[in-house]
Amino acid sequence: MSVTESTDTSDEAVVDPTERVRRRGADSAVLRMSEAEAAQVGNDPHLHADDQRVLLNMGPSHPSTHGVLRLMLEMEGETVLRSKPVIGYLHTGMEKQGEQLSYMQGSTNVTRMDYASPLFTELAFSLATEKLLEIEIPERATWIRMLMCELNRLGSHFLFMATNGMDLGAVGMMIYGWREREEVIRFLEKVTGLRMNHNYIRPGGVAADLPDGWEYDIARLLEMIPPRLEEYDTLMTGQPIWRGRLQGVGAMSAEEAIALSATGPVLRSAGVPSDLRRDEPYLAYDQVEFDVIVGTYGDCYDRYAIRLNEIRESVRIIGQILEAMPSGDYRVQDKKVTPPPRARIDESMEALIHHFKIFTEGYKVPAGEVYAAVESPRGELGVYMVSDGSSHPYRMHVRAPSFVNLQTMPHLMRDGLIADGVAIISSVDPVMGEVDR
């Protein structure tokens, strides 16, 4: 696309002296103006007295803002000069709430953050708690977690395919994306009992073993998905309109992506092969084979192609998990962490007391602080947890990838068209539940 070329010349003519330009080495990351500076510029009648700048408010309830994201845009004609995401509309104080809930209840809370891929927040929370407890979970629990997370990644990426298509006018794609996501969610519901907000991965293992016949369901999914991806290729990947709409839009260099703390597909699209599953293998990711998909230009098309191919890689991983699923326990047999089985409560007084204690007081976690991170469909999802030795986290902070990736957006949208802005919001794929927490 020629968006950047065509606006470059006009930008040369109106170089704003107060624009904040930060230089790091050879490459510069141009960031937006501060609000104070913007007010100064906006109130000065002599500066830009003859231009056609308009401040435009987009959202918070705009169909393409993926929930309640609001953007303040400074426009000249159809060109976006500056933009600022305004967030907080979905803020419900989940980190504060996390301090009131015990470690056992915590996963119920964190699962509501990223509602498109809830299992990853549960996983990061559980890994952080287990690091503090210094317990090892059984092999089967590890592999079940991995299976469920990869399925959830499929669901989340299918949701991206649907919304990305819808935002760009490929309305048929929306139906296809939802159709595939439905298949995945049906399996998640069969295992966890819920379509979203599963509360399935808990400190110490998972909530329940896989149901009978799960291998059949997974095999059917693995058979169903690859041909559907071929359909996506026909519908979108090769289409000249689709490519014209995405290629060269919202491009970013690797240095800029790193400087802006981007992670996940946003960082990988710029050509940085960063994937925690490979770089810092958690669970059993060092025992499965998969490729880290990396882009070249850091544009919207790369971000789309990365997610499409990550679906293929997840299918590959799930195939290997299906082969290698070990038998054994699905949660750790540490009586301090795991409540006794239901059947024991009827026979044993001690089991009843134990059950009661664990569910009223919770279990105590040794004092300390720890950070655990996983690769969610949106990037590095980390939990920083401080324990004071009681049964509630003293501080539970979630490093939400959507929240941090959102700050790349003003940089990506700069000097682009507003219609491309919609493509950029979609390609960063923020989930507002996680942004606002």
Q: What residues line the site for other proteins (CB under 8 A)? A: 20, 22, 24, 29, 31, 34-36, 55, 57, 72, 87-88, 91, 93, 95-97, 100, 131-132, 134, 258-263, 272, 274, 279-280, 367-371, 373, 380, 382, 384, 386, 388, 394-395, 397, 399, 403-404, 406-407, 436-437
Task: For the CB of residue 185, give the shortest distance to other proteins in the complex, in Å.
Answer: 29
Instruction: Please state the closest distance from residue 415 (CB atom) to other proteins, in A.
Output: 18
Neighbours of 4 (CB within 10 A): 15
Beta carbon of residue 139, minimum distance to other proteins (angstroms, whole number): 21
Between CA 434 and CA 424 the distance in angstroms is 18
Nearer of residues 101 and 159 to other proteins, judged by Cβ: 101
Q: Which is nearer to other proteins, 10 or 34 (by Cβ)?
A: 34
Q: How far is the CB of 88 from other proteins (least distance, A)?
A: 4
Which CB atom, from 55 or from 175, has the smaller least distance to other proteins?
55
Distance, in Å, from the CA atom of 375 to the CA atom of 124, rounded to the nearest integer, reads 9
What SS3 string covers 32-44?
CCCHHHHHHHHHC
Label residue 53 exposed, middle or buried (CB < 10 Å: 0-12, 13-18, 19+): middle
The long-range contacts involving 326-330, CB below 8 angstroms and separated by at least 24 positions, are: 326/139, 326/140, 326/143, 327/140, 328/138, 328/139, 328/140, 329/138, 329/140, 329/141, 329/205, 330/138, 330/140, 330/141, 330/144, 330/205, 330/206, 330/208, 330/209, 330/210
Comparison of 176 and 363: residue with beta carbon closer to other proteins: 363
Interacting residues of 119 by C-beta distance below 8 A, sequence separation 6+: 111, 145, 148, 149, 152, 188, 198, 200, 201
Phi-psi region of 283 (alpha: psi -120 to 50; beta: other; left: phi over 0): left
Q: How far is the CB of 264 from other proteins (least distance, A)?
A: 12
How deeply is 323 buried, as exposed, middle or buried, from its count of CB atoms within 10 A (0-12, 13-18, 19+)?
exposed
Closer residue to other proteins (CB): 307 or 411: 411
- Minimum Å gap between C-beta 30 and other proteins is 9
Query: Minimum distance between the CB of residue 262 and other proteins, rounded to whole angstroms?
Result: 7
Minimum distance from CB of 38 to other proteins (Å)?
9
> Cα(20)–Cα(29) distance, rounded to whole angstroms?
10
From the number of C-beta atoms within 10 Å of its C-beta (0-12, 13-18, 19+), residue 36 rates as exposed
Residue recorded with tokens 């690769």: 375
Beta strands 205-206 and 368-376, pairing class: unpaired
**Residue nearer to other proteins on the CB measure, 4 or 261:** 261
Closer by beta carbon to other proteins, 228 or else 278: 278
* Choice between 229 and 365, CB closer to other proteins: 365
- Phi and psi, residue 321, nearest 5°: -65, -40
- C-alpha to C-alpha distance for 380 and 393, rounded to whole angstroms: 21
Residue among 33 and 161 whose Cβ is closer to other proteins: 33
Backbone φ and ψ of 389, nearest 5°: 95, 0
| Closest distance of CB 31 from other proteins, Å | 6
Closest to other proteins by CB, 189 vs 388, is 388
> Terminal CA-to-CA distance of the chain, rounded, Å?
36
CB 291 to other proteins: min, Å: 17
